[in-house]
Amino acid sequence: MRPPGHGETQPRLDDDRLPVVLVVLDGLGDRPIPELGDRTPSEAAHTPVLDALAARGASGWHLPFGWGRAPSSELAHWALFGYADVAFPGRAVLEALGAGVDVPPGVAVTHAALRTSSVDPDGRVWITGRTAREDADEAAVLLAAVGGLATAHGHRLVPLGGRGEAVLLLPGCASGAVTDSDPFFEDRHPWLRVLPCAEAPQAAPTAEALTALLREARAALVAHPVNADRRRRGRPALDVLTTKWSGALRAVPPFAEHVGTTGAAVTSTRLYRGLAALLGMPAQHLAPDPDHGADLTARLDAARGLLDGGAAFVHVHTKATDDAGHTKDPRAKLAVLEALDPGLAGLLDLAEHAVVAVTGDHATPSTGGVLHTGDPTPLVVAGPTVRRDGVTAFGEAPAHAGWYGAVTARDVLPLLLGHAHRAAFLGHRPTPRRTAALPDAPEPMIER
C-alpha cells in the first residue's frame, strides 16, 4: 500500500485488479444416471484437472434462472455477461451478425431452415428431419427458390451454409416479437402457426407477412423439381421452411460501457461471434477441433493472448459437452469430459494471477425426452483471492457442498469481478450507467 495523502489517515489503495477468464462448457449439467452408478457424467468422469481446480478454489451450483426453468444458451449467456435487465434482441440477430450479415436496426429478423415433413389426415404438417450434409447442393437450389419468393415480398433471405439454414430479414416489419413456426419438440407439436407474442400486439404485421411467405414457400417447395427428384430417389423432400428465434436489432450498450471493464471472447460458433460483435467485444474465432483436449488448449492460449491485449474479462466457450448431451448417450458425454479435461490444464497456471471459473450455461441431460433443463451445473472458481472451501472434486454432487451455494446467471459476473478486486462500489457514481465493475475509464474533468 502507498502512504496516505495529505490530511488522510488511511493508506492509498494499490491497484491489484486481476483479469477474469470464464470457461463455459455448454450444456454441462446433467441428471443422475443409473448406468453411471446414479451419478451425472461430470461426477463419473475422470477429470483430474477439474478436480485440482476445485481443490484450489470454491464451488457451487449454477442455476441460471432458478429451479425448473430450462434455459437456452443465448439467454443464459446474455445474463452471464451482465445483460439480464437489458431487452434481448433475439437469437436470429446474433446468428446473422455472427455470419457477417448486415442487420439494419429496427428490421425483423428470423432464422429459417429447410426441413422434411409428413402430413396427417387433419392437415397438420409434422417435421420429420432436417437437411443432411450430403443435401447441401440441393438445399442451396431450394433456398434460392425461396429467396426469390422472399424478394418478391420485399424480404431478403441470406443462406448461412450447407445445412439448409438462412436468416430472413423483413424490411417494413419493425417488431420481431413473433412465435416460432419450428416446433423444436417435433414428436409433440406440428409445424406451428406464427403469431405475435402476447406482450407485442405491434408484431401482428410481422406474423402476417411471415405466415404468407411460409405458406407460399411450402407450396413452392412441395412442387419443386429438386424435391420431385428426391422423392423418386427415395430421399425425403426438403419441403418445409421453419422459422425461430425472431427478433430485431436495437441499441445495446457495449460491454465495456455496460459492465465497466473490457471484455473479449474466444468463440466456437456463429452465435457467440454474433454476441461478441453486438457487445463490441474483441473476439478470436476458433473452429472446433475434434480433439477436445487440443481444442481447449488452443482456446486457453487464445484467451491469454486477449488478456495480453488488454482484456480484463475473457469468455471461452466449447459446445462439445452440449452436443454430447443431445446424443442421449451418457457415456458419450462422460467421454467428452474426460477428453477435454487435459486441455484445461492451463487454468491451473492462469489461476496464479487471474480469477478463473468453469461452469455450464445450462443442463443438457443425456437421458430423457428433454432438450435443456433447469438442473444445476457445477461452478468452480479459483484464483489468488479465492478461499478454498474444502471441495476436492468436480461435479454436481461435490459442488453442492461448496461455499457459493446456488448462483443464478446474473450473479456469476459480479461474483467473479468481486474476486478480481473489480467490483463496483455501491453508492459511488463514477458513470451515468450503473456497472457491475468499478469502471476502467470514467470521464475525467479536464482543466481548461
pLDDT in the model for residue 157? 97
Mean pLDDT of 424-429: 95
pLDDT tens figures, 99-114: 999 999 999 999 999 9
CB distance 419 to 437 below 8 Å: no
Q: Does the pLDDT value for residue 414 go beyond 90?
A: yes
pLDDT in the model for residue 419? 98
Kindly report the pTM of this predicted structure: 0.95
Rounded percentage of the chain residues whose pLDDT exceeds 70: 100
Mean pLDDT, rounded, of the chain = 96
Q: Does the pLDDT value for residue 440 go beyond 80?
A: yes
pLDDT in the model for residue 1? 80
pLDDT in the model for residue 30? 97
Please, which pLDDT band fits residue 375 given cuts at 50, 70 and 90?
Answer: very high
pLDDT tens figures, 237-290: 999 999 999 999 999 999 999 999 999 999 999 999 999 999 999 999 999 999
- HEC string of the chain equals CECCCCCCCCCECCCCCCCEEEEEECCEECCCEHHHCCECHHHHCCCHHHHHHHHHCEEEEECCCCCCCCCCHHHHHHHHCCCCCCCCCCHHHHHHHHCCCCCCCCCEEEEEEEEEEEECCCCCEEEEEECCHHHHHHHHHHHHHHHHHHHHCCCEEEECCCCCEEEEEECCCCCCCECCCCCCCCCCCCCCCCCECCCCHHHHHHHHHHHHHHHHHHHHHHHCHHHHHHHHCCCCCEEEEEEEEEEECCCCCCHHHHHCCCEEEEECCHHHHHHHHHCCCCEEECCCCCCHHHHHHHHHHHHHHHHHCCCCEEEEEECHHHHHHHCCCHHHHHHHHHHHHHHHCHHHHHCCCCEEEEECCCECCCCCCCCCECCCEEEEEECCCCCCCCCCCCCHHHHHCCCCCEECHHHHHHHHHHHCCCECCCCCCCCCCCCCECCCCCCCCCCC
Please, which pLDDT band fits residue 423 given cuts at 50, 70 and 90?
Answer: very high
Task: Measure the CA–CA gap between 440 and 448, rounded to whole angstroms.
Answer: 23
pLDDT in the model for residue 284? 97
Please, which pLDDT band fits residue 294 given cuts at 50, 70 and 90?
Answer: very high
Q: Does the pLDDT value for residue 295 go beyond 80?
A: yes
Q: Does the pLDDT value for residue 162 go beyond 80?
A: no
pLDDT in the model for residue 13? 87
Q: Does the pLDDT value for residue 208 go beyond 90?
A: yes
Q: Does the pLDDT value for residue 323 go beyond 80?
A: yes
pLDDT in the model for residue 161? 82
Mean pLDDT of 180-184: 96
Among 174, 176, 117, 115, smallest CA distance to 146 is for 115
pLDDT tens figures, 389-410: 999 999 999 999 999 999 999 9
pLDDT in the model for residue 2? 84
pLDDT in the model for residue 6? 86
Mean pLDDT of 355-364: 97
Taking the CA atoms of residue 380, residue 386, residue 388 and residue 391 in that order, the dihedral angle to the nearest 10 degrees is: -10
What the block records as the C-alpha cell of 299 is: 482456446
